[in-house]
Structure 1
């Protein structure tokens, strides 16, 4: 796998809306401002691609423009990292515009960049895995950097800072706390902390025991389900099969499967 260079303080990080377009809506403006501030506090400069802030309706109708933004981020030499704005449920619609573009695939392989996101961004991670690029299944702009509490959640902030180190091997620790889901995302919730609880079990191991070493491979369970069925969208599984983004049986050997 091709591993990108670590990020440095002062680097530019592209924010791309590859699925949901909420970041461009007026109701999310307070979160946009908050996310920008948090990234800058960490020493990174957020950069929005041409269509990132076009809004939900435009991006739903134009998957080709979402794909164009990802291409722009990879071809722009002033950008060192790329972050998904938020997840969603139809990222698979970008695959024809990306997986059939030989220039884009070549750029990914010859000019690799840190790529982050989770939830339906799993589709992009699997696509990059097929292209040979190691990516970070990690925070997104809206869900994590724009967390409405007084600070970013400490576990998220600590784990994100791996992008500045990019170690060869890392120990995965569970968060020591968990939180109730936020119900109100309006501007009136800015500065209000989430209700937290002490984590007593740690992460759950489904199979195996002791200390396990291996490369991580996995993602969002709902996204995998959608890729394997026609439950949500007709054509989802057909697109996944056409571009072979679901790892083959041999790809899972010596891997640690993680499910988010």
Structure 2
């Protein structure tokens, strides 16, 4: 995999809208996100789609792609962060300049609908990052724990060392109504994090498995199935697949059907591991039911009873969320109940 250079304070970060144009609808939330990025030490470069009218953004997928192509081609841009997710970034994929992007690898991050873009760039052989966006994550980071703020700074700027994926003591499901002035930068009430749950594993391997990360929002990946942007059969060999559900809270049955589709494609048989982010707005009972469905499909329907599975991890539509680099190797130790990165996501 081609790794981007390590970021540092003073670097230029391009901000653009690859999905929906919500900065034009909630400008105060967007501005708070920019303020917090600058407080981290970044210089922010706003591309045209960042503040473009929401209808204009939707009606012009080619313009969104042009912004991303320009950001990759600009030698003065050190990294790229999406303003927020949405529901149709798959529409911009045909306009992306694959040769330009591959020739100019750099840090690029977002989550949710960003998954479509991230998956494509990852398949070009570049490490991409599933993590906070400007409006959902960075706009609220000043109200998160110092532990999390330190984690983000360390991840983006610090020297890498072999480390476990973090587990944060509390979490929040979403944000108060952004149309209310007092809600800017705020989180919904904190809840106690019960932590990740580990299942299965191969005792012959001492319950350890490792492989390169790939994944994202499960609903968005569904938009790519059957298209030219979906990975080929060989792609899945040895991967650790990560999946998470969106704020739309898909039904547990829909998750069952989507997972069954992976099984029919033969994906589970090839994976080294499967990890799930905390399901947004699911009750503890619903989270347990979700785990049961995951196991019933992977183990019960497709017989993959040795595939390590970890659920309820701190990524996706949850705050605080860890940053997951697509393409780096991670290790799942079911026996010790640990997940750790085995290499730096940055070019050292």
| Aligned residue number for residue 332 of structure 2 | none
User: Contact 1:52–1:66 (CA<8 Å) still a contact in 2?
Assistant: no
> What does 1:191-210 correspond to in 2, within 5 Å?
192-200=186-194, 202-205=195-198, 208=201, 210=207
Counterpart-to-counterpart distance in 2, 1:173 and 1:223: 25
| Aligned residue number for residue 152 of structure 2 | 160
Q: Which secondary structure does the structure 2 equivalent of 1:251 belong to?
A: helix
User: Contact 1:150–1:193 (CA<8 Å) still a contact in 2?
Assistant: no
| Aligned residue number for residue 73 of structure 2 | 75
After superposition, the CA RMSD in angstroms is: 2.2
Q: 2:215 aligns with which of 215, 218, 221?
A: 218
User: Contact 2:21–2:49 (CA<8 Å) still a contact in 1?
Assistant: no
| Aligned residue number for residue 125 of structure 1 | 118
Q: TM-score, normalised by structure 2?
A: 0.63
Q: Which secondary structure does the structure 2 equivalent of 1:214 belong to?
A: strand
| Aligned residue number for residue 47 of structure 2 | 49
User: Contact 1:18–1:121 (CA<8 Å) still a contact in 2?
Assistant: yes
User: Contact 1:20–1:60 (CA<8 Å) still a contact in 2?
Assistant: yes
Between structures 1 and 2, the one with greater helix share: 1
| Structure of greater Rg | 2
Q: Which secondary structure does the structure 2 equivalent of 1:144 belong to?
A: coil
User: Contact 2:19–2:87 (CA<8 Å) still a contact in 1?
Assistant: yes
Does residue 190 of the first structure (1) align with residue 184 of the second (2)? yes
Does residue 247 of the first structure (1) align with residue 245 of the second (2)? no
Give 1:55 shift.
Answer: 1.8
User: Contact 1:5–1:166 (CA<8 Å) still a contact in 2?
Assistant: no
Counterpart-to-counterpart distance in 1, 2:157 and 2:105: 15
Relative to structure 1, is the Cα distance of residues 69 and 170 closer, same or farther in structure 2, using a 3 angstrom cutoff? farther
Q: Structure 2 stretches of 5 or more lacking a match?
A: 245-348
Give 1:173 shift.
Answer: 2.4
Q: Structure 1 stretches of 5 or more lacking a match?
A: 99-103, 229-236
Give 1:180 shift.
Answer: 3.7
Number of residues of Structure 1 aligned to a counterpart in Structure 2: 238
Give 1:254 shift.
Answer: 2.2
Q: TM-score, normalised by structure 1?
A: 0.83
Relative to structure 1, is the Cα distance of residues 254 and 191 closer, same or farther in structure 2, using a 3 angstrom cutoff? closer
| Aligned residue number for residue 20 of structure 1 | 20
| Aligned residue number for residue 234 of structure 1 | none
Give 1:153 shift.
Answer: 5.4
